[in-house]
Structure 1
């Protein structure tokens, strides 16, 4: 983790001291910045200012800022195809890889905000990879892919990664997408958040079409008498600003009339005008200088505080005295981190009053070079691309990359957001950002104006100030998963759903590998189990010891988020002018399914730790090496000296010898069958021993989680599936999907003449996908793949991240033509 809390405070104090006791003149009047060296109560005020920054720094330390970026292989799919993706987990302030979570949750969501596909993706060293096989029945439409971790759920769904993909179903004519609507929208945002009667302010606006895309428009603002008090016109991407000094307070005091083209007119009420309050204005007043002006309706002297933070990093903390309701702050741009910063104004009671976003284009970036060996390739030709990564000083550095090569056609008109655009811009704003590339590639003056309009129409933060400034921070509801998938359950009283506290619950999955977890229910009835190496779909067994309580009800909870960010999407339908392209893609998909379908569900073998949770047992018996008995009691009496079989009035009991103290334990040991606890000794003793392959014994007291066992006796069957053993009726048995198993990406190779002359057709739309492309700090590395039987233009996309947090992306077009 790249957290430097003490350095944060040092920088903050240096910034504060530098501007303390400094006088300067503005058009708003003369303002004295009171610092630590001030007189009277200035020291106390300075303490208040530093306390806000200190609280934010502490919040950052307590709640590390985590982000996820997902690189998927292409923007358009046919139902029945496979979507491939790579995940990058980063620390949100400096964007360096963050190894906080070991599991990420990825979902494909339809227009009705319902998940269509869900997957749990294992993260190793802050990266992960996965895939979704899109069902052939999946309706055509535009879908949202979102990704997040358990820890990120504390910040709400706006903090999740979101991107849009298109799915085309050529097998049916129906489509499912965002509902079609011919309406347009216009929204208005006062700078700083407030319109205040009698105070000059700036209002930003955004005019969008039914797809949420910015469109050109003109407009005017009318007061209640119908008089025009302001006019406006959109600039880039449907956004712009105008100045307004409200003279009337209240809701509905001002109406905007927006004209789109010749016939479409929208009328929208401006946000409510307050009769008193504060207005904040930010101006770029120099190459390295920003001026933040504050105007208030109060004429009484009042101390206000300005805190600038970049993704929870407190960068600048200043204070000023309102003089005749006016104050100004000077901020050096070099004190701010690159990317999005928040300027928040507080009153003397530490209550946030206004907020304004500011963007500083990142100068540090990962430069990715990807050069093909020749300008043009033939069919079934070998492609070699030299890939290298360097810092902004052109020095080679190591990086973790992902690479996709897919065919361009009229259906593929957009490219997914690049990792650097997302981490430094889109991820810190609410909702989708139209064309993030524009803000990084447009001419400097044009980009500066456009990005400032974008900042004015955004106002989201992943935390709430009351949570930061509270004296007693509440615990986070969602905890990280650093060591594997966490399965959560609920223990309630049967028939009432009332939570039950203090019940030890056991979670297991029948297998030849013995893994067992336990948890004690909390006040709200929650139990949590950390499951390592839990991949694919398996049966879970959740149960309690019968002697605790027989009136309990157990439930396994879904780890997927039930909260959804507000989304604006475009309507979708098959278009007649693309019928030829649909037919081509349909043919490609069907041919690939017939001739390469057997390669779609090949999975990468993962290393498995076969050691039981209790480690190496004290006694281990492979029963096939001994004379086989038909009664389990005889097996234990004849071959297992560490376990004593006793018969009492209620039936069988087992007692394990305490090897350390040379005495028998008085209670039954933890008895396991294929890793599943069995509490009824009569049932386990009735088990057919011919179905049991292995018997292991731990002849010592074993402390495991919140439980202590007086020895362990573990039986393993040949198949590891309980062999028909009937579990207690109160046990909950439920199919559960663990982390996703990794599919192998298949692409044919044409290294020999015989392979090139193969009659099997190769109509791949996706030529290459590599989620684990590593570069070194020494030189470039070659990447090789083969073209297929389709001529055309193929887009090569390479993007990724260095250990230092440098992010970058690169793309170029590959020309494939048949030989003449």
Structure 2
């Protein structure tokens, strides 16, 4: 029977608007719909690195974008970025440091020690509002290849197909309902998650019903009319297999949701229900990244056409959920909207080819979808193309718009943002169709679980407590105590604070900033007796490591390459014997070396206080008992002294005898870090890891001819570019002596409230100086 279509004038409610009582949607209902997003991840971290492949004894330069998870604008909530470098083979962290987040951005570096093994590593970052209790997947990561030398770079191929085939079907909206024409999407992949193109046949009661084949990356869809009294199965014809795949259960009654059409301005949905259900009010909620933008209300008898305006919805994945009159979810559909809204980053060099040590002038221009200039915060790396990780398909757009919003590892996500791919919109629709929908428990109030508060696992501050070292019969000093927090240069950076009445105090991000050149020290400013001590520990990385093992890392898969690999230029190999001046490493013969200047001063002070050794005056003998009246002269470490053994005075003390003598090179006793901290009643905490300036040489004409060889494979790392009101920024850098093809990659976010993201790239060649 031909369906009767009802065209209903929608009542659309903004999230911030108050719904009227007679509509059936109360403020309480809207509040419940928003509660789930309000209680979950508030920030998403993205890492951009100066290149994709590194050699040991290099610095990894990175930029962290800490954006509001809903609006995709720089977040001002978190002040600390916790960074780990994890060796993939052992799943162990080989580097852990804290970095300061400034207005939603971080730029930092970490040094790759020569002791690191070559292989695949993961750079992972967490802010205090991006890691929560129950987090089931980590997104803020960047895969890196670390080599001993670039000559060991292997021509790695992407993961290839294997004999395992996983084939799954996904009814649009979530369920197949008897008597309602439905779209069934499917996805085929191997055991590694690599897509497999397939074709096959849908059978109804063992009779062929629909032929189908995949349209993109093993995904496809088709329409059919399900019947709850029939039996359905799928059999693949390519690759040919005798295995059959059953369809999800066909419900005898219920509601369905289908996307009929989507244009730049609107999306058209069809809501249907079986004839045995009564007419009722239904609600269609549209949200993007947890923010509700529309709630459409209509009366559903059999079929209802609903048109959703898209103008005010930001770019990204919109989640459309159908609710019945009791505000219970019935179906859900993902769609990608406003893909044209993004930053366009144009990078124009003054030349296409340069000579060694030439000056390069780069002009960046950033515009929005209407070609209007945008003030944007950009990160730019320019490096030898040989150091590009070709199998890393992640960029800032795929990260925030897809990976952080969907489950699983997406194959080749950059495909969906490349305008050269004419079918990218249809392919993206298939990607979202094969995501399924959140399975709510039937009969439970909608989004009931969303009302549960979730707990952040990390904090920008560290809690300490001051207390008596030992139990004593003396009455405990009552009231607040005084604590001093200071950095290595205690005369420059210090803070005196009061504890609460129970002795608790807080070390905040401002204190950690004091320690950018080393450590932060905490000392109780209390009387010597009875002795008070401080208990304080930073458990941040223990918490991260414990929770990281409970959840997988989400990372996109690279594209399978059918054609021959692009011809690479011969790598420029720098001998391991040459000093590249990337880092300065000092070595010493001393057994004990204190990195922090303040602790070094305490070491010297403690040695003087505890050391009873002296040099006799005027004889210069070490611990000379014949000249023991003046012990003020202390021995100098490393100096050779004469000493006597078995010293004994004669009866009248006018002569003495010895049993032996000799010469020794004087060494003070070795004092451990823990000894010094205990002796001076201190606690030591790591501060934020200090910043370092990226080295950029400036050559004049004379320097271009003479001077030391310049073997830089990274010509520029600039993480803090901010365009002007015209959306422009001018950048100058100088080429090195390496004759090869270089690539520049620029990414960034607009600083307006729209939350626009963008990426761009450029290439150029550097030849030998003529």
Asked if 2 retains the 8 angstrom alpha-carbon contact of 1:99 and 1:126, the reply is: yes
1:206-245 C-alpha deviation (Å, 9 max, x unpaired): 233455343422233456x654444321112332112344
- Equivalent residue in structure 1 for 2:702, among 753, 766, 771: 753
Name the residue aligned to 1:796: 744
**How many Å apart are 1:509 and its aligned residue?**
7.5
- Residue correspondence of structure 1 range 61-210 to structure 2 within 5 A: 65-109=42-86, 110=88, 115-154=93-132, 156-158=135-137, 160-168=139-147, 182=162, 183-209=164-190
Asked if 2 retains the 8 angstrom alpha-carbon contact of 1:364 and 1:391, the reply is: yes
Name the residue aligned to 2:425: 448
1:564 is aligned to 2:551: yes
Name the residue aligned to 2:23: 46
Name the residue aligned to 1:739: 688
Name the residue aligned to 1:340: 317
State the alpha-carbon separation in 1 of the partners of residues 417 and 725 from structure 2.
Answer: 26
State the alpha-carbon separation in 1 of the partners of residues 20 and 732 from structure 2.
Answer: 65
1:732-762 C-alpha deviation (Å, 9 max, x unpaired): 96x754432223322444324245423x433
Aligned-residue CA RMSD (Å): 5.1
1:810 is aligned to 2:741: no
- Of 334-343 and 466-475, more deviation after overlay is shown by 466-475
State the alpha-carbon separation in 2 of the partners of residues 462 and 169 from structure 1.
Answer: 48
1:242 is aligned to 2:219: no
**How many Å apart are 1:818 and its aligned residue?**
1.8
- Residue correspondence of structure 1 range 187-336 to structure 2 within 5 A: 187-209=168-190, 211-222=192-203, 226-248=206-228, 255-258=233-236, 268-274=245-251, 276-284=253-261, 288-297=265-274, 299-301=276-278, 302-324=280-302, 326-336=303-313
| Structure 2 residue ranges without an equivalent (≥5) | 14-18, 467-478, 587-597, 599-608, 610-670
- Residue correspondence of structure 1 range 638-657 to structure 2 within 5 A: none
Q: Secondary structure at 1:428's aligned position in 2?
A: coil
**How many Å apart are 1:148 and its aligned residue?**
3.3
Asked if 1 retains the 8 angstrom alpha-carbon contact of 2:42 and 2:69, the reply is: yes
| Higher helix residue share | 1
State the alpha-carbon separation in 2 of the partners of residues 328 and 417 from structure 1.
Answer: 38
State the alpha-carbon separation in 2 of the partners of residues 569 and 463 from structure 1.
Answer: 27
- Equivalent residue in structure 2 for 1:486, among 457, 461, 470: 461
State the alpha-carbon separation in 2 of the partners of residues 208 and 540 from structure 1.
Answer: 54
**How many Å apart are 1:137 and its aligned residue?**
4.7
Asked if 2 retains the 8 angstrom alpha-carbon contact of 1:467 and 1:473, the reply is: no
Q: 1:273 to 1:140 in 2, by over 3 A?
A: farther
State the alpha-carbon separation in 1 of the partners of residues 77 and 237 from structure 2.
Answer: 50
- Pair member with larger Rg: 2
The count of corresponding residues between Structure 1 and Structure 2 is 644
Name the residue aligned to 1:642: none
State the alpha-carbon separation in 2 of the partners of residues 131 and 74 from structure 1.
Answer: 12
1:30 is aligned to 2:15: no
- Of 563-572 and 777-786, more deviation after overlay is shown by 563-572
Q: Secondary structure at 1:235's aligned position in 2?
A: coil
**With structure 2 as the length reference, what TM-score do the two structures score?**
0.69
Q: Secondary structure at 2:583's aligned position in 1?
A: helix
- Of 536-545 and 407-416, more deviation after overlay is shown by 536-545
- Residue correspondence of structure 1 range 318-467 to structure 2 within 5 A: 318-324=296-302, 326-409=303-386, 412-414=389-391, 417-442=394-419, 446-458=423-435
**With structure 1 as the length reference, what TM-score do the two structures score?**
0.66
Name the residue aligned to 2:734: 786
Q: 1:590 to 1:769 in 2, by over 3 A?
A: farther
Asked if 1 retains the 8 angstrom alpha-carbon contact of 2:57 and 2:112, the reply is: yes
State the alpha-carbon separation in 1 of the partners of residues 368 and 731 from structure 2.
Answer: 21
State the alpha-carbon separation in 2 of the partners of residues 303 and 788 from structure 1.
Answer: 69
State the alpha-carbon separation in 1 of the partners of residues 66 and 439 from structure 2.
Answer: 17
Asked if 2 retains the 8 angstrom alpha-carbon contact of 1:215 and 1:237, the reply is: yes
**How many Å apart are 1:143 and its aligned residue?**
4.2
**How many Å apart are 1:403 and its aligned residue?**
0.8
1:557-597 C-alpha deviation (Å, 9 max, x unpaired): 5352534245478799xxxx99x989947x33836x73324
State the alpha-carbon separation in 1 of the partners of residues 53 and 140 from structure 2.
Answer: 18
Q: Secondary structure at 1:744's aligned position in 2?
A: coil
1:772 is aligned to 2:720: yes
Q: Secondary structure at 2:404's aligned position in 1?
A: helix
1:19-43 C-alpha deviation (Å, 9 max, x unpaired): xxxxxxx945436668699xxxx97
Q: 1:228 to 1:78 in 2, by over 3 A?
A: farther
Q: Secondary structure at 1:811's aligned position in 2?
A: strand
State the alpha-carbon separation in 2 of the partners of residues 792 and 463 from structure 1.
Answer: 56
**How many Å apart are 1:305 and its aligned residue?**
1.4
**How many Å apart are 1:422 and its aligned residue?**
3.6
Name the residue aligned to 2:579: 594
